Amino acid sequence: MAKLGNENITWTVSVVFCFFLSLVLATASTGDEGFDKELEVEKLFKKLNKPAVKSIKSPDGDMIDCVHILNQPAFDHPKLKNHKIQMRPKFLPKGIRRLGESKPIPQMWHQSGSCPKGTVPIRRTTKDDILRADSIQQSGKKISHSILDLSGSLNSASSTHEYAVATLTGDRYYGAHASINIWKPNVQQSDEFSLSQIWITNHDDPKNHETIEAGWQIYPGIYGDDNPRLFTYWTRDSYNNTGCYNLRCPGFVQVDPTVVVGSSLQNNISVYGGSQYVLSIHIRKDQTTGNWWMHVGNTSVGYWPDSLFNHMSVGASHVKWGGEIVNKGSNGQHTTTGMGSGHFPEEGYGKASFFKHISIVNANNDLVSPKNFNPYVTNAYCYNITSYDYSNDSGVYFYYGGPGRNSNCP
Q: Which residues participate in catalysis according to the annotation?
A: 213, 324
| 46 vs 78: CA distance, rounded Å | 18
| 182 vs 217: CA distance, rounded Å | 9
Q: What is the DSSP letter of 151?
A: T
Any residues with CB less than 8 A from the CB of 183 and at least 6 apart, and which? 196, 228, 269, 270, 340, 341, 342, 353
Length of the chain: 410
Residue 39 gets the label, from left (phi > 0), alpha (psi -120 to 50) or beta, of: alpha
Burial class (CB in 10 A: 0-12, 13-18, 19+), 170: exposed
Give the SS3 label for residue 202: strand
Q: What is the DSSP letter of 233?
A: E
Q: What's the distance, CA 20 to chain centroid?
A: 49
| 116 vs 70: CA distance, rounded Å | 14
Asked whether 216 and 223 are in contact (CB, 8 A), the reply is: no
| 240 vs 140: CA distance, rounded Å | 13
Burial class (CB in 10 A: 0-12, 13-18, 19+), 186: middle
| 153 vs 213: CA distance, rounded Å | 19
User: Among residues 358, 294, 364, 368, which one has the least CA distance to residue 95?
Assistant: 368
Give the SS3 label for residue 108: helix
Name the β-bridge partners of 175: 284
Any residues with CB less than 8 A from the CB of 26 and at least 6 apart, and which? none
Q: Kindly report the number of other CB atoms within 10 A of residue 225's CB atom.
A: 15
| 316 vs 34: CA distance, rounded Å | 44
